[in-house]
Amino acid sequence: MDRKQFLSRSLKVGIGALVAGPVILNASSCNTAEGGDGGASDKPDTPSGPPLVMAQDPLPYAYDALEPHIDARTMEIHYTKHHAAYVKNVMEAVAEEGITAADDAAYFASIGKWSTKARNNGGGAWNHNFFWKVMVAAKGAKPEGKVLDAINASFGSMEKFQALFTEASMKRFGSGWAWLVDKDGKLEIGSTPNQDNPLMDVSDFKGKPLLALDVWEHAYYLKYQNKRNDYVGAWWNVVNWEEVAKRMG
């Protein structure tokens, strides 16, 4: 190789280094900015356990079973559109985020690790499965036995319990749920926003769910329009107190 060839080749190598250097630096900078630690992902550590599966339970009665308190058309739309969409979307989130959990309780106990999509739709899927079961064509049945005893012990009377639960339902601003839970052996009433529930680690109100009322407008608007209080009042006629007793254990 003569002197002229040597100088030419050296110049090309030097220019290549100058061009490549900033490219490598920028790639490293992007990884650090996105991951926060030189390339680590923002995705939470995947907990051990099988892939989470959340399914839509069969509706335990016909769409018109709760008439006239909850109309058939509302029930059909609520179950086939809203509930079905929550189940579809949470399973998409499970696949996208690689979510694993031993069961629903374990999933909700770490829900704060996952996306808003996983949280909202997981709550929506589970809450509605629960909601359908705590209603029945009971035509005004009242609690008895251990359920009534627990209500009286915790709230003084059935009337006071209903008043407090109705208040929680009415004071939930926007969309959400009202709940009766068992917390450390005592019954408590509270509410959660959106599709949160008392099993979630991010919830301000926690406990073992015994009874729930959906106060999203889609649960009552066709029949009651903006009159949530009328909906809540009618709902007491279809509470499945036998299911509440079963969940008390």
36-75: pLDDT as tens digits: 333 333 444 544 567 899 999 999 999 999 999 999 999 9
Average pLDDT over residues 78-90: 98
Model confidence at 111, in pLDDT bands (50, 70, 90)? Answer: very high
Does 73 or 17 have the greater pLDDT score?
73
The radius of gyration of the chain from alpha carbons, rounded to an integer in Å, stands at 27
> Contact 236/165 with Cβ under 8 angstroms?
no
In terms of DSSP bridges, do strands 186-193 and 208-214 run parallel, antiparallel, or are they unpaired?
Answer: unpaired
> Contact 122/103 with Cβ under 8 angstroms?
no
Task: Judge whether residue 220 has pLDDT over 70.
Answer: yes
**What pLDDT score was predicted for residue 51?**
84
Cα(24)–Cα(86) distance, integer angstroms: 43
Which structure tokens are listed for 240? 């499945």
Give the number of other CB atoms < 10 A from CB of residue 104.
Answer: 18
Cα(74)–Cα(90) distance, integer angstroms: 23
* Domains in the chain with CATH codes: 70-249 (3.55.40.20)
Which structure tokens are listed for 42? 């923002």
Q: What is the mean pLDDT of the chain?
A: 85
Model confidence at 171, in pLDDT bands (50, 70, 90)? Answer: very high
Does 185 or 31 have the greater pLDDT score?
185
* Residue 147 amino acid letter: V
Average pLDDT over residues 168-192: 97
pLDDT over 90, % of the chain = 78
